[in-house]
Amino acid sequence: MPPRAKAFRRRLLRWYGRNRRRLPWRGVRDPYAVLVSEVMLQQTQVTRVLTYYPRFLARYPTLEDLAASPADAVREEWRGLGYYARARNLHAAARQVVADGGRLPRDPDALRRLPGIGRYTAGAVASLAFGARVPAVDTNAARVLARVFGVRGKKGDAARERRLWTLAARLVAPGRAADWNQALMDLGATTCVARNPRCGRCPVRPVCAAGSRVDPRDPRARLR
């Protein structure tokens, strides 16, 4: 791995150890609970999920409980969170897993065969719940990687997406896949934001292709 990439990983993990967001699903190793959180977080702000996540798990504490519930009851529990296809897919996935033996698969490719689980969600569940050394590139992580390593192209461009996922896979820290994937997401959500990123306060600015253009002496410096 190139020295700059190593320095990036080292700096980001050190920052994450001190600044990680305190969220109710952080540190949870129950694959089902991880899956619920990741499905809820799809296209939804963290602040909204904070209310729904504990309530949903109180109603359906296990995969078997969710699978046994009528579809209307699941939808009612999801009411207000929006994007109801997620609830239908989560319910269908639970029923499929229970029918297949009751255990969520550890392998990302197997996870992707379940309803509503795409590449990101599969990587997140595999790394957070099972410790698999696989990437999980959401919008925040993609933004960080693109800026740090100068990956060009528009959001959604196939070539850009392939490069970002390949880069992410190489960077996953051995033995710390969960921390690494969440560190990328946290930096993108709190510092390397879409508009007016806080480059002057960013822990990886010295090794960032975009952040190197700002004045490191100004903590209020932002990328233009």
Interatomic CA distance for residues 34 and 51, integer angstroms: 16
Long-range contacts, 20-23 (Cβ 8 Å, 24+): 20/182, 20/183, 20/186, 21/46, 21/186, 21/189, 21/190, 23/50
Residue 38 annotated among the catalytic residues of the structure:
yes
Whether the CB-CB separation of 180 and 9 falls below 8 Å is answered with yes
Query: What is the SS3 assignment for 137?
Result: coil
Helices (H), 112-218: 119-130, 139-149, 158-171, 177-190
Out of 38, 64, 76, 77, the active site residue is: 38
CA 49 to chain centre: 14
List the end-to-end C-alpha distance of the chain, in Å, as a whole number. Answer: 30
| Number of Cβ within a 10 Å radius of residue 156 | 7
Interatomic CA distance for residues 219 and 6, integer angstroms: 24
Catalytic residues: 38
